[in-house]
Amino acid sequence: MATFSTTYAGKDAAGLLGKAIASVASFAQGGFMIDENARGKAVLRLVDQAAAGWVADDGTFADQADLAFDDKAITLVYRKINEVIKKTSLSVDWLSVNKQAGAIGGLSGADQAKIVEEVIRLIAAATDSLIWASIITEVNADSDVNDVSIATLTSANVVAQLSLIAEDYADLTNNVGEAQFYMHPSNVAKLNTAQSGLGTNDARGFKADNFGGYKIISSLAIPDAKILLTPKENMHFAIDRYSDLSAVRILDQSQTTGANVLHIVANAALAASYARGAEIVLATAS
């Protein structure tokens, strides 16, 4: 899981973007490799697996082949929040403005933190949706992805259908690394029900976290008709956390324009993708 140190002051509030990203379901479960310092785009340098031979050492030096790289660029997209909150609304509804007689007063650091925490909750949810919207679009169009059709999952067939996906992955010549299932929570619930029926769990809040030795990553943003099986090392998320473009700020307009409003500003540059389609099994339920 990604961890970040955060504060709420000035430019350092950019750390809150890291906190928002870390709280995204896909990341909190360890589903992605994270590049925290991308600039404009992140370049994944992939070794061409056919470039260099692994040969016996007979004591001589022989040129085998050049070590080649294939570059896959992830271009960052920019997202923003630009909203206004009335300070009078905060005073009446949230009771979070300092209680000064006859005055609205200014927000304390703790009060700002409450507002920012709610803002980053929205950012986290939107980020998870963005991740899976882009990845699902990409895998659907990638001819290197290993596609498999499965039946619509039910508690009665989920074990058999997930087994088909795992068998397809085991047949890949490059099935290196510890692969992980990526699926909607409703499909995890069906697996829980199936395992309960088999006597392999109980009714005390058990949640399946793996199947066939493969860890399960679940997110509401993954379509319930799509399941991926691929190594975590193949899934990448890039974010620019350190430039001036990345920030969460609360601007008190009463100090500039005289308006009794707070201006909430958040900016981030981020993108999600995968490295090799040939390392993914994509199951589509029908």
- Rounded-to-integer distance, Cα 106 and Cα 254, Å: 9
User: What tokens does 279 get?
Assistant: 């390392």
Token look-up 């090799």 returns 276
Two tokens at 151?
């039946």
Tell me which amino acid residue 1 is. M
Q: Write the pLDDT tens digit of every residue in 90-101.
A: 655 445 445 443
In a domain, 5, yes or no: no
| 8 Å CB contact between 251 and 263 | yes
Give the pLDDT confidence of 45-96 residue by residue, as tens digits. Answer: 888 766 556 777 888 877 767 777 888 989 999 888 898 888 777 655 445 4
- Considering the domain boundaries, does residue 130 fall inside one? yes
Residue 213 main-chain phi, psi, to 5 deg: 90, -5
- How far, in Å, CA of 228 to CA of 230, rounded? 6
Domain span at 265: 10-49+68-285
Query: Does 59 fall in a domain?
Result: no
In one letter, which amino acid is 280? I
> Per-residue confidence at 6, pLDDT binned at 50, 70, 90?
very low
Cα 34 from chain centroid (whole Å)? 9
Cross-strand partners of 170:
none
Residue 54 lies in a domain: no
CATH number at residue 107: 3.90.1690.10
Q: How far is CA 126 from the centre of its chain?
A: 10
What is the reported pLDDT for 185? Answer: 92
Please report whether residue 3 resides in a domain. Answer: no
Q: Is the pLDDT of residue 149 over 60?
A: yes
pLDDT in tens, 182-224: 999 999 999 988 877 655 555 455 567 889 889 999 999 999 9
Per the domain annotation, does 264 fall within a domain?
yes
Is 263 among the domain residues?
A: yes
Pick the more confident residue, 107 or 5: 107
d(CA 246, CA 238) in angstroms, rounded, equals 13
Gap between the Cα atoms of 257 and 274, Å rounded: 46
pLDDT tens track for 104-144: 455 666 677 777 777 888 888 888 999 999 999 999 999 99
Mean pLDDT of the chain: 80
Please check whether residue 4 lies inside any domain of the structure. Answer: no
The total number of structural domains that make up the chain:
1
Q: Please, which residues have CB within 8 angstroms of residue 256's CB and are 6 or more apart in sequence?
A: none
